[in-house]
Amino acid sequence: MPRGSAEAVFAVARAAGIAEASVHEVRVLGGDGAPAEELTLKSSAPKIREFLRSLLCSPLFDRRTFRFSAHEVLALVNEESAQRVTIPAGVPLTDVHHDLWRHCHVTASLVARTCVSAALLGYAMLHEDTLLAVGALIFTPFSPLVLSAALGVAARRTELTREALRVLLVALVLTLSAAALTGRWSAGRCRRRTSAGRPATSWRRR
């Protein structure tokens, strides 16, 4: 944050119930070289969540000059009791936003998971294999993409909504293609079995 902003930011933290913080001056490389300050806060999850919510809504916060990161602390020993420090809190919106963004990229992993899950699901449906169908559904990429689009609409994040819909369309095309190829391969296999005089239906051990 810019020099001289630590006191104002700490006032926001104090309003959220955080009693103390540490601040020191830093020099940012790769920027304009202007002196900056780094503020460190350590407190329970509910208080940090309230502080981040207030900071994001505060006129002090400017994405061009302010940066922050939140880290999970496994243990925090201070004047507060363990009962108060360990109160569970929901995941901050910033964490949810970044986590959903990780699913909104077309990567080799996304293509592989989509094609394999669609092929396995198509095969399971053709052969009435419920266990395989459930396993294939676990790897489908649609749930995080739908959540990303919904969050983008609700939070008015146009870029997230657009990217989620684009990746969703790619995943849908890959799914339909993989399922069609699986169905064609399975039909050809059934025809070969029929022409060879063997029953075309699959069998399973009871």
pLDDT per residue as tens, the chain (206 positions): 788 888 888 888 888 888 888 888 887 777 666 778 888 888 777 788 888 888 888 888 888 888 887 776 666 666 666 666 666 666 667 777 788 888 899 999 899 999 999 998 888 888 888 888 888 888 888 989 999 999 889 888 889 899 999 999 999 999 999 988 888 887 766 666 555 555 544 444 44
Instruction: Name 202's Cβ contacts closer than 8 Å, sequence gap at least 6.
Output: 127
Identify the sign of the CA torsion 78, 83, 86, 89: negative
Q: Is the pTM of this model over 0.75?
A: no
CA distances from 101 to 123, 144, 149 (A): 31, 9, 10
H or E element that contains 135:
helix 130-138
Instruction: Name 191's Cβ contacts closer than 8 Å, sequence gap at least 6.
Output: 200
Give the C-alpha separation, 127 to 203, whole Å: 9
> Are 103 and 90 a contacting pair, CB within 8 Å?
no
Position 203 scores a pLDDT of: 41
CA distances from 102 to 107, 126, 199 (A): 10, 33, 47
Length of the chain as a residue count:
206
Q: What is the DSSP letter of 23?
A: E
Position 76 scores a pLDDT of: 64
Structure tokens belonging to residue 138: 């676990």
Give the C-alpha separation, 173 to 116, whole Å: 13
Compute, in degrees rounded to 10, the torsion defined by CA atoms 164, 169, 172, 176.
-170
Tell me the β-bridge partners of 137: none
